[in-house]
Structure 1
Amino acid sequence: MKVRAATAAFVLHSHDWSESSLILDLFTRAHGRVVAVAKGAKRPYSQLRPVLLPFQRLSVTFGAKQGQDVEVWLLRQAEWAGGPAWPGGAAMLPGFYANELLMRLLPRHDHLPRLFDAYAELLPALTLPGTLHAALRAFELMVLRQLGHLPDLSLHSASGGPVHDDVLYTLHPELGVAEAQGEDAALPGWLMRQLESVLGPAFDPDSDGLPEPLLQACSLGSSDLRTVLRGVLHYHVGPQPLRTRQLMMDLQQT
């Protein structure tokens, strides 16, 4: 039976399939998001059992039956691919938020290697208090842009003209970039232009997963940017809210 070449992967979520097996939601570099069954992974002496954990980079292979017409792939092998151990702590909940965001927004089998690299670089950034919030905002922007849900931030969507540095703008899920009104969450035009200037090169296959200029731009307006992006993300996620985001908000209010 033919076994395909190995690819890098992360476990986004897992749940029991039988007494001995797991169903996995995987984010792979070669195949995008994949749902796979890991037969026997729950057995006490299974080599898969200590490996199939969130937040650690894996090298995985699948069975021959693959493609968009195959709902659940067969996981043949999974090995730890190196890298630092996940420290948990304050980074745990933001990490699960990123996983839930990918599971809710990514269609299966879309090849998104740039987004995979951004996710891989997001995880260690979450462990540093000084970069956690900026890294989350940068990752959200890259998810929206890679999936075609983010307009050109340097242009007023209705008129097509450039945004002005000293004008406040907001981002509507359907209308795009527009001048802020009343209580709208808003960002200054100069920041919108700066974000766009570094989001464009993010499609370069030779660029970093989370470009340092993007992290720096997100840190300049992290709180306002979070509010601006929240409405766009909720629109595309659908009526059922993200559980991890709500939990993070509840913990901040206690």
Structure 2
Amino acid sequence: MPPRRFSNEPAFVLHRYDWSESSLILEVFTRNHGRTALVAKGAKKPSSNFRPVLLPLQPLHLGWTQSAGGEAEIHTLKGAEWVGGHIMPTGDALLSGLYLNELLLRLLARGDPHAFLFDHYAAVVQVLASEHGEALEPVLRLFELVLLREVGLLPALDVQTLTQHALDPAGRYALVAEGGLRTAGQGERASLRGAQWLLLAQALQEGAALTALLHACAPVAFELKPQLRALLQYHCGSPRLRTRQFMMDVQAL
């Protein structure tokens, strides 16, 4: 059985590390094949066509071969082309992009396609590379919500998780790692009004269009941040996300 060949696959590099003196192992996020491991032979050589292309947070088209039977976990990269469209994010936006990459590495299984998630990732990366301004926090919360939903880790946001009672639009509810959505305690700041959770639930149910989710996330991004981060860390397990720890260390300086 001859090896399978794939070409012109939309992809982003999530992580890369040395494999030999001249080659790299890549963890990539592809639109139709999910997270995939590839070996880029000779990519570290100055003359390699791969060298200037295989960068994180850049839209690519990749081609590779998969061994006969598909039993190998790492496949051989055959082609890589930069699609273009935006420059590399910098500063806080760069750190945010690397944070998204770490989440995908932790939570996505290899070979599990998530085309819908890929499209939102591509859109968020484009925002990070632009004059993002006040959109940075809302788009991060947006992506966290979509990621959690796509991998089956986000509880329903229109009912209380344990009781399945409908939310009171005027009440306050908190999203917690082990209990899902519950009534918030007196003075609990990391919580949202029921009406705000319902708006997020509606945006997710209506196809999770980027603009609708962005409008729903923008007014509550500050309150959502600790709740989603705690839920993500709970499911990512130990140790703490490296990008989060790095950002915390920088803020402490």
Q: Under TM normalisation by the shorter chain, which class is it?
A: over 0.9
Alignment of 1:53-202 (within 5 A): 53-65=55-67, 69-126=71-128, 127=130, 128-182=132-186, 183=188, 185-202=190-207
Question: Per-residue displacement from partner, 1:129-152 (whole Å, max 9, x unpaired)?
Answer: 210000000000000000000011
List per-residue Cα deviations over 1:99-140 (Å, max 9, x = no partner). 111111111111100100111011122241210000000000
How many angstroms does 1:181 deviate by? Answer: 2.1
Query: In 1, Cα distance between the equivalents of 2:133 and 2:246?
Result: 19
- The alignment's TM-score, normalised by the length of structure 2, stands at 0.92
Does structure 1 retain, via aligned residues, the 8 Å contact 2:189–2:223? Answer: no
Q: Residue 92 and residue 67 in structure 1: after superposition, are their counterparts in 2 closer, same or farther (change >3 A)? A: farther
The residue number in structure 1 matching 2:44 is 42
Measure the CA separation in 1 of the matches of 2:50 and 2:215.
39
Q: Is the 8 A contact 2:17 2:25 kept in 1?
A: yes
Offset at 1:64? 3.1
Aligned to 2:239: 240
Task: Structure 2: give runs of 5+ residues left out of the alignment.
Answer: none
TM-fit CA distance, 1:215 = 0.9
**1:186 counterpart letter in structure 2:** S
Structure 1 runs (4+) deviating above 4 angstroms are none
Write the deviation string for residues 72-103 of structure 1: whole angstroms up to 9, x where unpaired. 11111111112122242331111111111111
Instruction: Please state how far the C-alpha of 1:2 moved relative to its aligned partner.
Output: 4.7
5+ residue gaps in structure 1? none
- How far has the Cα of 1:184 moved from its partner? 6.5
Identity rate, percent: 44
1:1-40 matches, within 5 Å, as 2-40=4-42
1:249 corresponding residue in structure 2: 248
* Most deviating of 112-121 and 152-161: 152-161
RMSD across aligned positions (CA): 1.7
Aligned partner of 2:222: which letter? S
> How many aligned residue pairs are there?
248
2:6 is paired with a residue whose SS is: coil
- SS of the residue corresponding to residue 94 of structure 1 reads helix
Q: TM-score, normalised by structure 1?
A: 0.92
1:72 and 1:178 map into 2 onto residues whose CA distance is: 43
Structure 1 residues 214-223 or 85-94, which shifts more? 85-94
Larger mean Cα displacement after TM superposition, 167-176 or 147-156:
167-176
Range with bigger deviation, 170-179 or 219-228: 170-179
